[in-house]
Chain A
Amino acid sequence: MSCGCCCTDNKSQELDKIIAKYKDSRGALITVLHEAQEVYGYLPLSVQKRIAEGLNVPLSEVYGVVTFYTQFFLNPKGKYKINVCLGTACYVKGAGQIYDKISEILKIKGGECTPDGLFSLDACRCVGACGLAPVVMINDEVYGRLVADDVPAILQKYIDQEAELAKA
């Protein structure tokens, strides 16, 4: 596995491409940050510096934007990003208990990552699937109509999947 920082060559080439694509368009900083985060999984300072230089904006402004928006991360997330929806519909239907259960099983708090880098846990706002409340997203997979007792089996699925990968 790569270290995930911006020293890896492929990634840095991709970053260059992204910067080149938006260099001349107005107000593109947020778009560039989104695409850079797609590549790196998060936005370490080294990447922010490159973007600042590439787009010719002060690093302070880049950092200011990164820290303003909750969708940009300064620290790496887990391989499986768990987002528990704490939007109103989900909250009313007991999403809090599900969040607590995940936190209890993985022994991490919101915003943290398990030591093995497998899971990270965050609360998020309405993902627009309120009809299925309460809702948990793990990467792009949506799990709906959950009760706290469903949690262990769902997490186990990913743990097993990892074990399979390790064997192969």
Chain B
Amino acid sequence: MIYRSHILICNGTGCVSSKAPAIMEKLQELLAANGIEKEVKIVKTGCFGLCEKGPILVIYPEGATYCRVSVDDVEEIVNEHLIKGRIVKRLLLGDPNVEDVSKSRDNVGFFAKQVRVALRNCGVINPENIEEYIARDGYAALAKAVTEMTPAEVIAEVKKSDIRGRGGAGFPTGMKWQFAAQQVSDQKYVCCNADEGDPGAFMDRSILEGDPHSVLEAMAIAGYAIGANQGYIYVRAEYPIAVQRLNIAIKQAREYGLLGKNIFGTDFNFDIEIRLGAGAFVCGEETALMTSIEGKRGEPRTRPPFPAVKGLWEKPTILNNVETYANIPMIILKGADWFSSIGTEKSKGTKVFAIGGKINNTGLVEIPMGTTLREVIYDIGGGIPNGKKFKAAQTGGPSGGCIPASHLDTPIDYDNLIALGSMMGSGGLIVMDEDTCMVDIAKFFLEFTVDESCGKCPPCRVGTKRMYEILDRITQGKGEEGDIEKLEILAESIKQGALCGLGQTAPNPILSTLRYFRDEYEAHVKEKKCPAGVCKAMLNFEIIADKCKGCSLCAKKCPVGAISGEIKKPFVISKEKCIKCGVCMESCKFAAIVKK
């Protein structure tokens, strides 16, 4: 069937939450009411990346991108755009006055600097329809691998591309595959890490939701390369949409003979099962993940033996991250040389980042390695909202660190980020402004690791708890002389003594904030002050007598009756009664209340 128009509507988590399904229903209803439901096709796609401006829909052939669409806008879109052929300028993303509407978003910095490899199909195809994937060269890489290449040639190509793992540590993928291929065993496994534990990252989720077949295809290629016929995808239970789309994709791939027995008429067999996580961060660690797939408590094991030798059920196993896999079909199809032409000397290709926090354009971006943080935050991210000042960017989640303004011009790659005391991690990038207290942030991450430590090894179980207690004390205004030094000593011993990556990297948030923001720690400990005004215990609200008009509004708003005074005379806040909720400051019309 041929349609005169296609409406692509984002069905990623962000847009679903901002009511994309209701918009779709309304669209269907109005298309039918106008009798054009057979002329216009609605396509549910994955994430376009710019969740901040969601729900987003794109109408072809014009290529008009509409943003922040609400259910009430649908009627106008149908009547104007679809029936009368007039663009609804008020909803266009970017410059509404360009001649060619498909270009309206081109000078939106958010899109201009991106290079989409892993996200090539996200927001372009319907993830629930395998034919749309195939139409975009889907499964051509698998066909090429199994019919034209030997397993050794596949591995050689991946090695030559120099792709490094996108899940955190950046281990060379080709090398990992080669180790596993060299093992002699009756059974091997290919696993996909879709646990996405970094709280503040959602690129794996978007790939699974927007382009699940790319992961299935890559896993089959990996299976062919190492000699495995069974794959497992370990997904967080918190990602129901991703699980549902994966299930659909697996079913379709089996129906098309792209998974199962005798793939492309060869004697290569490969199938994939999904396993759900159950909310344990440590299960993102490779050995813990495999114990969890086995149905046990997800505790890590000591390495060696490495999973490539003894992994799942003691069989040689490779584990790669979702984004790593999403790159593989492109490497096989377009070649290692093409891939390694993107990026820096030691980090090839692109990286997807989930940018969030205090930034204008929150969302998902894919950039060539070597792009600077400044470009990501200002050109793509649109800078910091409300005229506030940038303070730090956090990468690497609970294993990473905070990068200050003085290093904004560093090109992003694996090695540079480690040199700065952070790490690439899986790609969460949280921007913090002047209102963020760095001690509080360090405490936030430590609370996370204390919670998530599996308890198997004492340096992590006990050590992180001690560090948390010290940080807690400091943020309560009870820091003691010598606390900072104690933190440093503890951090070093935990780094060296912990069993797995969780413990070994747990001190990073403290070490990096100490490295760049030591003065903030010192202000907390020595002067009992929180310079960012976050740590409540050290905060005092005061009324500036000169500015106070004595209107009594604050006294009325105060939930504990801590403010008193006479009308038309300056009011005062009782320090004993004040619970530091900040309501008075928000309510004052004369900016007469300050926190110190």
A residues contacting B by CB (< 8 A) are 26-31, 33-34, 61, 64-65, 68-72, 86-93, 124-133, 135, 140, 142-144
Contacts and interface: CB of A to CB of B under 8 A. Distances in A.
Contacts of B200: 87-90, 126, 130
7 contacts: A68-B298, A89-B199, A89-B357, A89-B362, A89-B428, A125-B238, A133-B357
Contact of A92 (B197, B201, B430): B430
A132 B281 CA distance: 22
Specify which of A33, A133, A140 lies most central, judged by the most chain B CB atoms within 10 Å of its CB.
A133
A31 B362 contact: no
B397 A88 contact: yes
B278 A131 contact: no
Interface stretch (B10-18, B213-221, B519-527): B10-18
A68 B295 contact: no
B362 A126 contact: no
B430 to A, nearest CB: 5
B356 A71 contact: no
B292 interface: yes
Rank and list the top 3 A-B pairs by shortest CB-CB distance, nearest first.
A131-B51, A88-B200, A89-B356
A41 B93 CA distance: 43
Nearest to B433: A92
Contacts of A34: 237, 276, 278
Interface of B: 13-14, 16-18, 50-52, 54, 196-202, 205-206, 237-240, 275-281, 292-299, 313, 354, 356-358, 362-364, 394, 397, 428, 430-432, 436, 441, 444-445, 448, 454
Contact of A30 (B13, B50, B276): B276
A88 B238 contact: no
A28 B448 CA distance: 28
A87 B236 CA distance: 15
A128 B52 contact: no
A126 B195 CA distance: 12
B237 A70 contact: no
Nearest to B357: A92
B403 to A, nearest CB: 14
Contact of B444 (A72, A88, A132): A88
Nearest to B444: A91
Contacts of A88: 198-200, 356-357, 394, 397, 428, 430, 444-445
B201 A132 contact: no
Contacts, number: 143
A131 B294 contact: no
A72 B205 contact: no
A69 B278 contact: yes
Contacts of B237: 34, 71
Given A27-B275, A87-B199, A142-B17, 10 more contacts: A27-B296, A68-B454, A88-B198, A88-B430, A92-B357, A129-B51, A131-B50, A131-B54, A135-B17, A143-B17
Nearest to A92: B357
Contacts of B51: 129-132
Contacts of A143: 17
B239 A128 contact: yes
A130 B358 CA distance: 11
Given A30-B295, A70-B278, A89-B430, A131 B358 contact: no
B439 to A, nearest CB: 14
Contacts of A142: 13, 16-17
A133 B362 contact: yes
Contacts of B294: 26-27
Contacts of A27: 275, 293-296, 313
Contacts of B202: 126, 128-130
Contacts of A92: 356-358, 430-432, 436, 441
Contacts of B52: 131
A89 B51 CA distance: 13
Contact of A128 (B13, B18, B444): B13
Contacts of B394: 88
Nearest to B394: A88
Contacts of A125: 197, 199, 238, 279, 281, 448
A87 B13 CA distance: 16
A125 B295 CA distance: 22
Contacts of B280: 68-70
Nearest to B448: A125
Contacts of B239: 128
A28 B430 contact: no
A131 B363 CA distance: 5
B399 to A, nearest CB: 12
Q: Which of A34, A93, A128, A142 is packed against the most chain B CB atoms within 10 Å?
A: A128
B92 to A, nearest CB: 20
A40 to B, nearest CB: 15
A92 B534 CA distance: 11
Nearest to B586: A149
A135 to B, nearest CB: 7
Nearest to B273: A25
Contact of B198 (A68, A124, A126, A127): A126
A131 B429 CA distance: 12
B199 A28 contact: no
B582 to A, nearest CB: 9
Given A26-B313, A88-B428, A129-B13, A69 B279 contact: yes
A46 B277 CA distance: 23
Instruction: Identify the interface centre among B50, B275, B356, B445: most chain A CB within 10 Å of its CB.
Output: B356
A144 B55 CA distance: 12
A82 to B, nearest CB: 15
A28 B278 CA distance: 13
Given A65-B296, A129-B17, A130-B354, A31 B444 contact: no
A70 B297 CA distance: 11
A108 to B, nearest CB: 19
